[in-house]
């Protein structure tokens, strides 16, 4: 999704060029206690910039009998990793890779370069503030797999949450120094369901002290939350941003009841919503005001923009793409390289795994999706967990209107009224605080906010970790 390289001051560039490669001098004091994870230490990753922190990649088997193994990539914090929290990041889809998007297009320390030739350093990586753990979930996503074919027939929200929970406990066996670390779960898009669902499992299981995970909160970006509110927001946003005509919007208003159980039985409604999706095919629904990929590269393996829709389903449309949809192709090329897979402990460099940024078969076969996770919000708020939700305001996929409709449905008391928040003396967006929840927008950002506003998102992430409101004065 990256379209341009950051403009860096000369002093920063000089610093990056002089950075040493990772070696024992920079390792944390927990190396011995994390001995089981040592075999997953990543070295000689092709095209990797030199850094002074360790990172690990490999598999955790979550079901020995069926042979279900989930792939992870873990980056220690740039500084003081022993003192900083652990954050698990999940991307959605369902069926899309947290490694391909979150780790190497958004918030990780390495971003895939054009052409898939290598990686470049991300000066706004979130591992400046926390230890970052990326998980490809469920099985069938990215490098994650199962040796039992029937597992792929049972994929859904509940299956994914419980496998992710099993992953965490198995991962802590590899890295026991993080077992009692302050822990957060973050994600975007369909992970708007994954993240609260996993948080609920953690919360419920924490009743057993032997299973305790020190979960403090969740962070959600442009999240799918409530199907009815998400659909209503999608069509209203399309109309208010001149994507569809007054007539189409009028038909939807008159014929679509997104809160009913038979929304799509109304032909006028279905046809009008199809018209919205048809118009969105002409632009990037993830980012209304940026260009789509017009590619002729030999690397291209996905169409410039692909809408993932289940006809007649309440589930939201999925669209492959982002700020620069062409970068999805470069990412796919990079992760299918033999030398990359060997460095990440995925293969021996000869028998390769077929890595895709999004697995359409998983989406098509998704068997369990909660219509709304708002009841989970209420449960987590009552438990005292920190919940922050943010929304890029140029995203048409899960637009700011969808999120506002969903949060309004909660009926929470407002504790801080709608106001701008600032970053480097400029308006970063607007925010409103509720009893138990903070909501903020990012001005001019699309679906994957850190792609569009890397500096702002890092500052916002830092505020989330500290529990402090982003600056509301210049």
**Bond preceding residue 94 cis, omega within 30 of 0:** yes
Quote the tokens at residue 22: 């990772």
Catalytic residue among 55, 249, 423, 447: 447
Known active-site residue 189: yes
Pairing status of strand 68-75 against strand 55-63? antiparallel
Alpha helices in 241-345 (DSSP H): 246-255, 267-280, 326-335, 338-343
Catalytic residue among 125, 146, 189, 402: 189
Other Cβ atoms less than 10 A from the Cβ of 401: the count is 22
Q: Which long-range contacts (CB under 8 A, 24 or more apart) does 409-412 make?
A: 409/226, 409/229, 409/374, 410/374, 410/377, 410/378, 410/434, 410/437, 412/381, 412/436, 412/437
| Distance separating alpha carbons of residues 224 and 189, to the nearest angstrom | 6
In 3D space, the residue among 200, 297, 285 whose CA is nearest the CA of residue 243 turns out to be: 285
Q: C-alpha angle 303/306/311, rounded to 5°?
A: 145
- State the burial class of residue 277 (Cβ atoms within 10 Å of its Cβ: 0-12, 13-18, 19+): middle
Catalytic residue among 226, 395, 457, 463: 395
| Distance separating alpha carbons of residues 162 and 176, to the nearest angstrom | 20
Phi, psi of 251 (to 5 degrees): -65, -40
| Distance separating alpha carbons of residues 62 and 316, to the nearest angstrom | 29
Chain centroid to CA 249: 30
List, in sequence order, every residue forming a beta bridge with 73; answer none if it has no partner: 57, 134
| Distance separating alpha carbons of residues 34 and 37, to the nearest angstrom | 6
Known active-site residue 447: yes
| Distance separating alpha carbons of residues 12 and 27, to the nearest angstrom | 23
**Bond preceding residue 252 cis, omega within 30 of 0:** no
Quote the tokens at residue 223: 């999240």
| Distance separating alpha carbons of residues 348 and 360, to the nearest angstrom | 27
| Distance separating alpha carbons of residues 50 and 53, to the nearest angstrom | 9
Phi, psi of 442 (to 5 degrees): -115, 115
Known active-site residue 297: no
Q: Active-site residue numbers? A: 189, 395, 447
């Amino acid at each position: 999704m990256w379209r341009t390289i950051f403009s860096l001051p000369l002093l920063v560039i000089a610093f990056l060029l002089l950075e040493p490669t990772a070696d024992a001098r920079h390792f944390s004091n927990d190396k011995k206690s994390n001995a089981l994870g040592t075999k997953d230490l990543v070295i000689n990753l092709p095209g990797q910039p030199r850094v002074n922190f360790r990172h690990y990649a490999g598999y955790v088997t979550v079901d020995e009998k069926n042979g279900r193994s989930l792939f992870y990539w873990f980056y220690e914090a740039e500084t003081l990793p022993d003192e900083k929290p652990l954050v698990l990041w999940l991307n959605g889809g369902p069926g899309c890779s947290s490694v391909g998007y979150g780790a190497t297009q958004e918030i990780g320390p390495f971003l895939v370069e054009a052409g898939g030739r290598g990686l470049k350093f991300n000066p706004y990586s979130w591992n400046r503030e926390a230890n970052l753990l990326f998980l490809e979930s469920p099985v069938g996503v990215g490098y994650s797999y199962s040796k039992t074919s029937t597992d792929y027939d049972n994929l859904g929200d509940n299956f994914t949450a419980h496998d992710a929970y099993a992953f965490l406990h198995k991962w802590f066996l590899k890295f026991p120094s993080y077992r009692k670390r302050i822990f957060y779960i973050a994600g975007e898009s369909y992970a708007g369901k994954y993240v609260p669902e996993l948080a609920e499992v953690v919360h419920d299981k924490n009743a057993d002290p032997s299973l305790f995970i020190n979960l403090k909160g969740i962070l959600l970006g442009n999240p799918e939350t409530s199907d009815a509110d998400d659909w209503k927001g999608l069509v209203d946003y399309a109309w208010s941003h001149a994507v569809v005509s007054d007539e189409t919007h009028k038909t939807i208003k008159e014929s679509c009841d997104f809160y009913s159980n038979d929304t799509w039985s109304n032909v006028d409604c279905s046809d009008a919503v199809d018209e919205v999706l048809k118009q969105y095919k002409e632009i990037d629904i993830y980012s209304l005001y940026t260009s789509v990929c017009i590619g002729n590269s030999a690397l291209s393996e996905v169409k410039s923009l692909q809408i993932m829709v289940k006809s007649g389903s309440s589930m939201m449309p999925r669209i492959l793409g982002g700020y620069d949809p062409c970068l999805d192709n470069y990412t796919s090329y990079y992760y299918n390289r033999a030398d990359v897979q060997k460095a990440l402990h995925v293969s021996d460099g000869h028998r390769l795994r077929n890595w895709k940024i999004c697995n359409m078969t998983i989406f098509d076969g998704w068997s369990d999706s909660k219509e709304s996770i708002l009841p989970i919000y209420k449960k987590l708020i009552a438990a005292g967990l920190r919940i922050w939700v943010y929304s890029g305001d140029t995203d048409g996929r899960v637009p700011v209107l969808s999120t506002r409709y969903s949060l309004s449905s909660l009926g929470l008391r407002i504790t801080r009224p709608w106001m701008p928040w600032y970053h480097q003396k400029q308006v970063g967006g607007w925010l409103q605080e509720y009893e138990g929840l903070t909501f903020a927008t990012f001005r001019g950002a699309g679906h994957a906010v850190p792609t569009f506003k890397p500096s702002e998102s890092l500052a916002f992430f830092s505020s989330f970790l500290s529990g402090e409101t982003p600056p509301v004065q210049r």
